[in-house]
Amino acid sequence: MDNDGRSWVRGCGYGCGGLLLIAVLLTTVGVLTVMRPLGSAIDTRAELDDAYGDQCSFAPPADGVVKANRIESFLRVRRSLADSCDLIDRRAAAMRELEELDHDPNMSRTAILRLAGRATTGAFGLGPALGALFEARNNALLAEGMGLGEYTYIYVTAYHQRLIDFGPRTGILDGSPVNRRIRGCFEDMLKRQLDVSRRSSADPTMTSALDNELALLAADSGRVPWQDGMPAAITQAYVPYRAELDAVFCAGATELELLRNRRRALAIESE
């Protein structure tokens, strides 16, 4: 295949694949295998919100430290997502295969088309896989008595260094490893934590750290919460569980795990 043809296929693979992914994630309509789990995820999220408040309303304790029994509940939720995460990882891997086009200028037309086909299949397959992930996540949270807000707080603090290591992203993440809406939720949580800290006999060092972090977040819209390092007490609480937490981390779904679903007219959106 000549260079122009190769560039066209590569461009279509990247550009069209990206558009297809956004369409599947944000405005999926009419595909039963996608709609059923996404619809179920909306219903179960409503149950979670009624019982525990919405995702942004969680108030961490004054010291920000997650208790051992809540980390264990979080781990049980994570284990229940293993099958969905494995499927998402495989779909994402199929799409990443297009990168081989940049490393092998002599790849045959047949190989290029095969890679493009697998990438397209992976893009379409991500919709049902994500629907299943959201459905399983919400059902597991209900079973554990944990709201989506508490889950979000634990996820961001437990996997904090991994989020930092992912580096700046584009598109749905607005240039940050943490989705803009999720980042706003977490910032609200830190404000509540600061309020609790000020009204209690908490360590004044934590109060000062929260004041400083919130000022930094307000000044930099792309900053990851606690970007310069979380308070030691928060990090230390996860140390006994680090191997288990890493074992149930889902790299392929990192950009999407904390999204929520909602109905808009005939469509279901993930945000």
**Does 12 score more than 80 pLDDT?**
no
The DSSP secondary structure of 112-138, one letter per residue, reads HHHHHHHHHHHHHHHHHHHHHHHHHHH
3-class SS at 267? strand
Calpha distance 25→127 (Å, rounded): 6
- Residue 223: DSSP 8-state: P
- Find the angle CA(50)-CA(56)-CA(61) to the nearest 5 degrees: 95
- Find the angle CA(52)-CA(54)-CA(59) to the nearest 5 degrees: 70
Domain assignment of residue 21, given as a range: 3-270
pLDDT band at 4 (very low <50, low <70, confident <90, very high): very low
Give the mean model confidence (pLDDT) for residues 168-195.
72
Calpha distance 105→107 (Å, rounded): 6
Over residues 49-83, the pLDDT tens digits come to 899 999 999 999 999 999 999 999 999 999 999 88
Q: Name the CA radius of gyration of the chain, rounded.
A: 20
The structure tokens listed for 243 are 């191997």
pTM: 0.74
Give the mean model confidence (pLDDT) for residues 109-138.
66
Give me the number of domains the chain comprises: 1
